[in-house]
Amino acid sequence: MPVVQPRVELLAHTPEPLSLIYAAFRQCYHDGQVADMWPRLLAGDISKEKQAAFVAAILESGHASPVEHVSFTFALSGVSRALTHQLVRHRIASYSQQSQRYVDGSDFDYVIPPEIKKHPEALARFEGVMAEIGSAYRELKAILEVAGRTGSKANEDARFVLPQATASNIVVTMNCRSLLNFFEHRCCRRAQWEIRHVADAMLALCRDVLPEVFMVAGAKCERLRYCPEGEKFCCGRFPVRKEGGA
């Protein structure tokens, strides 16, 4: 039962993302059809610098819906089921996750929290529990198979003993607006360590492809320049907003 680390890879994104967002924004303010403009955009008749400046100015005004036309697809592997339970709460997205019904969990991979790794006594106890669960899974599966529940039918019942530490693989697709919201919540220092690590890696990949949208993305405080979490939860990176203003 190997210990694994999260891995984030960008599988695909909408082609010509900046030009598509520019065209969508322009359609809102243009009396013609942007389909006539599209060949010029692809040919480079309208410079990327001009497109970027226009997109930045409109985004600054608060008009953000046209960025929804561009999406990114990521493969996340070696992440815990605890992380994927948090991830799927971001509802404007598409997910395809490794099934515990069809994938045998007899030798499941798992993720160890860093704070547990720091303490030898806690680590030994954690790893002992993982070994116990693996043994219980295999025993339950064998009992069920003898009773006639073979293949995925045995897996689907035995999986009920698997822990949240169990590693999983998942494909996720989000549009840019959903990603901006995701980064605001999950790049925050208050987010759990694992999903924050994954969100930071996803953000870095998005910035490489579309810096015009994602260069200023991240935790909500980075955009607001103050902490919206209040005194109780503020990490101290930015001041807390006071009553009546920032």
Is 99 annotated for ligand binding?
yes
User: CB of 197 within 8 A of CB of 118?
Assistant: no
Instruction: Report, in angstroms and rounded to the nearest whole number, the Rg of the chain calculated over CA atoms.
Output: 23
Annotated binding-site residue? 100: yes
Sign of the torsion angle spanned by Cα atoms 163, 169, 171, 175: positive
According to the annotation, is 71 in a ligand binding site? no
3-class SS at 44?
coil
Catalytic site residue from 7, 40, 81, 186: 186
81 marked as binding residue: no
- Known binding residue 176? Answer is yes
Q: Is 88 within any annotated ligand binding site? A: yes
- Read off the tokens for 221: 């405080």
Q: E strands along 29-81, which residues?
A: 71-80
Q: Is 90 known to sit in a ligand binding site?
A: yes
Q: Is 186 a catalytic residue?
A: yes
178 known member of a binding site? no
Q: C-alpha distances in angstroms, 240 versus 86, 233, 237?
A: 26, 10, 9
Report whether 101 belongs to an annotated binding site.
yes
C-beta of residue 70 within 8 angstroms of C-beta of residue 59: no
Is 89 annotated in a binding site? The answer is yes
Q: Find out whether 199 and 83 touch, Cβ atoms under 8 Å.
A: no
User: Annotated binding site for FAD, which residues?
Assistant: 65, 89-91, 97, 175-177, 181
User: Annotated binding site for dUMP, which residues?
Assistant: 86-89, 97-101, 159, 186
User: Annotated binding site, which residues?
Assistant: 65, 86-91, 97-101, 159, 175-177, 181, 186
Residues annotated as catalytic are 186
